[in-house]
A and B are shown apart, each in its own frame.
Chain A
Amino acid sequence: MSPFPAHLLSIDDLGTEEISTVLEVADSFVEVGRRANPKVPALRGRTVATLFFEDSTRTRMSFETAAKRMSADVLSFAAGSSSLKKGESLRDTVETIEAIGIDLVIIRHASSGVPARVAEWVDHCSVVNAGDGWHQHPTQALLDLYTVRQAFGGGDAGLARFQGLRVVIVGDIRHSRVARSQIGAYAAMGAEVTLVSPSTLLPPSLEGWSVAAVSHDLDEVLPKADVVSLLRVQSERGSGEFVPSLREYTAGYGLTSRRAALLRPETLILHPGPIVRGVEIASDVAELPGSLITEQVSNGVAVRMAVLFLLLGQGTLEGADRA
């Protein structure tokens, strides 16, 4: 494997080979998670900070659990109670964090590009993007890939199934960092991505996006789908203003019970959560056998452990004998 990058800012930082490595290493962490004591000493003595400028429970808890299960020390930085409130600039905050001796910082921010900017400022600290604006949320895409590979039996055979896999991403593509990461991730593994969205919720241009097709007709696309990945209607980012009403959105783009009947039984259903039942997915559809929403959450910890381990656990002494 080529050296793992120093930071994980975008799914594009990883090639097909690095993504495969993350998924393989995550297998080992899934095994750790099944033990009575799900903790290993791998990152003992390392300090990880979560720097969240935007609300999140599941992503923050998932990252913090991941770091703690590897025995790293975890500092949780709540932007609301920090010196930023006293007028300190982001750059000064980051320099303080680095001066304290933090090894890795996990950042979520409402503005696109903040993690990349922070990565330019730090000298020896790794940066992980936990979601920035409309831009990227790479670990979400990785855990989606892991969950799909697992549903296909895991291992190399599960990985091979991505080749030509028909993946349909439904919802507010325009405001979704999850969609942007998913598209890159699925494309890197050889899947064919179709976007289904009202025109108003598509980005102004899809130039440079690895997308096979765009459709506005979910009923037509669903019977051919191998994987249906739903996006949350992001009221806080203004999804609602781009459609006449939520009810109309559901009528056109929600995975209702009627639409679920169009799916083949083996079709997988994913959703990054938190799900808004009755809007993008009907309550009973979320409970269907093909629905992997719970698996996504539990796999999230193992996949994030793999990412942190690959960022922090790799030294540079090539050729050191391992026997």
Chain B
Amino acid sequence: MSAADVHRAITRMAHEIAERNRGLQHVVLIGLQTGGVAVAHRLATTLAELDGADVPVGTLDVAFYRDDIGLRPVLPEAATDIGFDLTGATVVLVDDVLFTGRTIRAALNALGEYGRAQVVELAVMVDRGHRELPIRPDYVGKNLPTSRHEMVDVSEDGVSLGDLVNR
């Protein structure tokens, strides 16, 4: 995916979020540390351009909720920053890459600490498959079939796969 492809995907996902949540009054975006944070901010900017909506953005680190603590090196990326109560909100969790679904499972547990959201939705830039839990995204930038051993990198410049840069 080129940078332009990512930009188009962001615009489309923003439209879908606005379409599904008319008015956007209760919508908040929560970017997962670290890759989801930039995507969440881009979605918020686009939503502001489209609808003039001021959608709050928070960030969430799920390290302390992971199920592989003690199995591999687990470190928080950055402290969680959610400066508002999520009770009653429509939370759109935002991540760059959806893979096994374990990060999202951890995120769902972590979110509960900040209030009881009315609805939680999931937006990802890339769905690379290989789910290990019953989790599916509501908004997808691109479905990208991968092998388990490939790395998916999402950045300002687009999406690349492993060492083989596909821009």
A residues adjacent to B (C-beta < 8 A)? 1, 3, 21, 24-25, 27-28, 30-32, 35-37, 40-43, 46, 70, 309, 312-318, 320-323
Contacts and interface: CB of A to CB of B under 8 A. Distances in A.
B64 A315 contact: no
B63 A323 contact: no
A42 B103 contact: no
5 contacts: A35-B114, A40-B64, A42-B64, A321-B148, A322-B72
B122 to A, nearest CB: 14
Given A32-B64, A40-B65, 20 more contacts: A3-B73, A24-B76, A28-B64, A28-B76, A28-B78, A28-B80, A31-B81, A36-B113, A37-B113, A41-B109, A42-B63, A46-B70, A312-B70, A314-B73, A315-B72, A315-B73, A315-B74, A317-B72, A318-B72, A321-B100
B93 to A, nearest CB: 14
Prevailing SS type, chain A contact patch: loop
Nearest to B67: A41
Please give me the 6 A-B residue pairs with the lowest Cβ-Cβ distance, nearest first: A323-B99, A40-B64, A315-B71, A317-B72, A28-B76, A42-B64
Contacts of A1: 73, 75
B133 interface: no
Contacts of B80: 28, 31
Contacts of B109: 41
A312 B80 CA distance: 21
B79 A323 contact: no
Interface in B125-155: 128, 148, 152
Interface string B42-85: 00000000000000000001011100111111111011110000
B97 interface: yes
A321 B69 contact: no
Contact of B72 (A36, A42, A43, A316): A316
B113 A313 contact: no
Contact of B69 (A3, A36, A43, A316): A43
A236 B75 CA distance: 40
A30 B79 contact: yes
Given A318-B72, A320-B71, A70 B64 contact: yes
A320 B99 contact: no
Contacts of A323: 97-100, 103, 128, 152
A41 B63 CA distance: 10
Contacts of B128: 323
A31 B69 CA distance: 19
Contact of A313 (B69, B81, B148): B69
Interface of B: 61, 63-65, 68-76, 78-81, 97-100, 103, 109, 113-114, 128, 148, 152
A318 B65 contact: no
Given A28-B63, A41-B109, A323-B103, A21 B71 contact: no
Nearest to B85: A36
Contacts of B152: 323
Nearest to A309: B64
Contacts of A40: 64-65
A21 B75 CA distance: 9
Nearest to B98: A323
Contacts of B61: 28
Contacts of B148: 321
Given A28-B76, A28-B79, A314-B74, A41 B65 contact: yes
A313 B78 CA distance: 17
A24 B70 CA distance: 19
A321 B75 contact: no
A41 B108 CA distance: 13
A27 B99 CA distance: 28
A30 to B, nearest CB: 7
Given A28-B76, A314-B73, A41 B81 contact: no
B142 to A, nearest CB: 15
Contacts of A316: 72
A34 to B, nearest CB: 10
Contacts of A314: 70, 72-75
